[in-house]
Amino acid sequence: MKFSQFVYKRPNLNEIQNELKEKIEELKKAKNLQTARESVRKINRIRDSFSTASSICMIRFCMNTKDEFYKKEKDYFDSASPVMSGLVNDYYEALLNSQFRDDLEKDYGKQLLNIAHLAIKTFKSEVLEDLIQENKLATQYAELISSAQIEFNGKRLTIPQLRAFMLSSDRNVRKQAAEALYSFFSSNQERSDEIYDQLVKLRTKIAHKLGYDSFTQLGYDRLSRSDYDSKMVKTLREAIKKHIIPAVAKLRERQAIQLGLEKLKYYDLSVLLKEGNPKPTGDEDEIVSKTKQMYGEMSSETAEFFIFMLENELLDLKSRDGKYPGGFCDFIPDYKSPFIFANFNGTEHDVEVLTHEAGHAFQVYRSRNYEVPEYHWPTLEACEIHSMSMEFFAWPWMEYFYGDQAEKAKVVHLWAALNFIPYGTCVDEFQHCVYEKPSMTPKERRRLWREIEKTYMPEIDYDGNKFLEDGGRWHQQGHIFENPFYYIDYVLAQICAFQFWIRSFKDREGAFRDYVNLCDLGGSLPFTQLLTMAKLSSVFEEETIKSVSEHVLNWISSKT
């Protein structure tokens, strides 16, 4: 069935509450293991049905944030989802307290119990209204950036469309585009600050109501991080400061020489080659056609997966007015279907975002038949391994997209991936500092960002742009508003993806086999155990960071 034919029906929350409470009571009172198992199956079917409606609504809202029907439905789920979370927590408590807990753990795996234990800590009925308000504030931010219609070159452009001009080989064009972009964020600074200030204070209040000292640990528990903590992440940040920031600094010097500039400005940082970054040939349809060919040749597993995506129209790639400016992959349980959402803009971003989101989609396609909904996806940092690694596994087919510019496209891709790590780590440290001191004013937060930014990206010269000099750059990072503490997941995953990239030179088949195995495991294991199963070194070991940094730096240096 094509996505346009997927049936959307708003779930009746009262009916769901009654059904779930009934099945949870059955689980509690089960006299034998078979009854307990059947209760769990029925509960999961109800949950999948709710998730199906929620995902369809979210996707269609993002396709057109001006659609009044789905805007209202999104508002409904902003309120209904926290109620559903409370009901799921009741199920988790019944599962953990079941007299058949040990047998159910053997059936479903220990990770389900890990997730249940952490989820219970993150919810009480007393915070229900606060959670609803948190969702509504995050939606306000999404609507704010989706509303952007920025005047440039006589046209009104969305943020993704404007970003294409920020990659121009013409320095004046990219400077003007960057100034236009940040002019939008500057004009909305007060509103963005207001939304975030409310979110920080609200999340802190929720944490205190739940018995946490601050939101930080609650944020980690919400992300089901059962096998590492903020101290381990801090150790990672220190290793990045020691090994990756100096490597990026060396490459920035090389970049300035390549571009023929005495000093890089902020609007130069994304353009790595004098002639400009390679652009893929062809429009959206041609890129999709070449992607189909690539996945057909990559493996039987990827061929089957991408044909399924195309036949069921499970991709929305064109940028347009009113469309949410991000990219993501979602999963629709009742249809066992992933969905890829992106905003093409005619740059290398198009190939990278498609292969990135296809990595997510391939994983959840491989995990779609897990009976336990928690195992359709792993925790988020593991999810990003699938996406970022898929970008590298696509390298042998870069000629399909870039022709004789394929080798340059690989250089730009790897180089940009390394450049990202200091920024991603900066976002993480910023959030830790914010939630350690939630009483900061918006002005103090912007000043804090600028101080941390100078540690991770000391080379940035904002060329007198007051909004950026005053620490406003983070206003464009939706994760900070919508998914606190998520952003370091991209850093963790990038280190893992680099390892797959390194291994692929020596044993591509073996590396890809381990990658498919990782996808097949879904969310059945916690992050560090998934790394072990995929034969990846721990990202929390300094030696891993050092080794990866050296390999990447040496490869780029040999090609430029």
Average pLDDT of 448-469?
Answer: 97
CA separation for the pair 55, 61 (Å, rounded): 10
Q: How far is CA 26 from the centre of its chain?
A: 37
pLDDT digits (tens, 9 = 90+) for 102-122: 999 999 999 999 999 999 999
pLDDT of residue 48: 98
Token reading at 256: 């300035």
- Phi, psi (rounded to 5 degrees) for 312: -105, 10
pLDDT at 207: 98
Q: Give backbone dihedrals phi and psi of 295, rounded to 5 degrees, phi first.
A: -70, -25
Three-state SS for 341?
strand
Return the structure tokens found at 134. Answer: 């948190």
Task: Provide the pLDDT for residue 430.
Answer: 98
Is 90 exceeded by the pLDDT of residue 326? Answer: no
Q: Give the pLDDT score at 478.
A: 93
Say whether 318 sits in a helix, a strand or coil: strand
For residue 12, report the phi and psi dihedrals to the nearest 5 degrees: -85, 105
On the question of pLDDT at 286 being above 90, the answer is: yes
State phi, psi for 324 to the nearest 5 degrees.
Answer: -60, 135
The reported pLDDT for the residue numbered 4 is 97
pLDDT of res. 46: 98
pLDDT digits (tens, 9 = 90+) for 50-66: 999 999 999 999 999 99
- On the question of pLDDT at 347 being above 90, the answer is no
Q: Do the Cβ atoms of 279 and 351 come closer than 8 Å?
A: no
For residue 191, pLDDT over 90 is answered with yes
What is the Cα–Cα distance from 550 to 554, expressed in whole angstroms? 6
pLDDT range class, residue 73, cuts 50, 70, 90: very high
Q: What is the mean pLDDT of the chain?
A: 96
| Consecutive H or E run containing 501 | helix 488-521
pLDDT at 540 over 90: yes
Could you tell me the pLDDT band of residue 18, with boundaries at 50, 70 and 90?
Answer: very high
The 10 Å Cβ neighbour count of residue 147 is 15
Number of neighbours of residue 283 by Cβ within 10 angstroms? 12
**What mean pLDDT do residues 90-95 have?**
97
Task: Map residue 337 onto helix, strand or coil.
Answer: strand
> Do the beta carbons of residue 308 and residue 127 sit within 8 Å?
no
| 431 bridge partner residues | none
Q: Residue 332's beta-bridge partner residues?
A: 337
The lowest-confidence range among 4-13, 66-75, 340-349, 374-383 is: 340-349
Task: Give the start-to-end residue ranges of the domains of the chain.
Answer: 3-134, 148-187
User: For 229-236, which contacts have Cβ atoms below 8 Å and span 24 or more sequence positions?
Assistant: 230/432, 232/540, 233/428, 233/488, 234/432, 235/540, 235/542, 236/425, 236/488, 236/491, 236/492, 236/539, 236/540, 236/545
Is the predicted pLDDT of residue 3 greater than 90, yes or no? yes
From residue 541, alpha-carbon distances to 244, 528, 535, 536 in Å are 14, 12, 15, 12
What pLDDT is stored for residue 146 in this prediction? 87
- pLDDT for 345 equals 86
Segment 145-157 shows an average pLDDT of 91
Distance CA 327, CA 107 (A): 35
SS3 330: strand
Helices and strands counted in the chain (H then E): 23, 5
Identify the pLDDT of residue 195.
97
Residue 256, helix vs strand vs coil: helix
pLDDT in tens, 409-430: 999 999 999 999 999 999 999 9
CA dist., res. 112 & res. 385, Å (int): 21
Question: CA of 72: how far to CAs of 10, 136, 317, 411, 435, in Å?
Answer: 11, 12, 24, 45, 31
- Please, which pLDDT band fits residue 188 given cuts at 50, 70 and 90? very high
Structure tokens at 28: 């509690």
Residues 508 and 214: their CA atoms lie apart, in Å, by: 45
Check residue 150 and give left, alpha or beta (phi > 0: left; psi -120 to 50: alpha): beta
Chain CA centroid to CA 272, Å: 24
Nearest alpha-carbon partner for 10 in 50, 65, 62: 50
* The total number of residues written for the chain in this structure: 560
Given the structure tokens 């995929």, which residue do they identify?
534
CA distance 73 to 147: 18
Q: Which residue has the tokens 């350690």?
A: 436
Question: Percent of the chain having pLDDT more than 90?
Answer: 94
Is the pLDDT assigned to residue 185 strictly greater than 90? yes
Which of 261-270, 322-331, 425-434 has the least mean pLDDT?
322-331
Contact 169, 275 (CB under 8 A): yes
Q: What is the dihedral of CA 366, 369, 373, 379, to 10 degrees?
A: -20
Structure tokens at 365: 């396609």
Q: Has residue 545 got a pLDDT over 90? A: yes
Report the predicted TM-score, pTM, of the whole model to 2 decimal places: 0.92
Listed in sequence order, the residues at least 6 apart from 381 whose beta carbon sits closer than 8 Å to its beta carbon are 488, 489, 492, 493, 527
Within 10 angstroms of residue 385's Cβ, the number of other Cβ atoms is 30
pLDDT for residue 55: 98
DSSP codes joined into one string, 155-205 = EEE-HHHHHHHTT-SSHHHHHHHHHHHHHHHHHTHHHHHHHHHHHHHHHHH
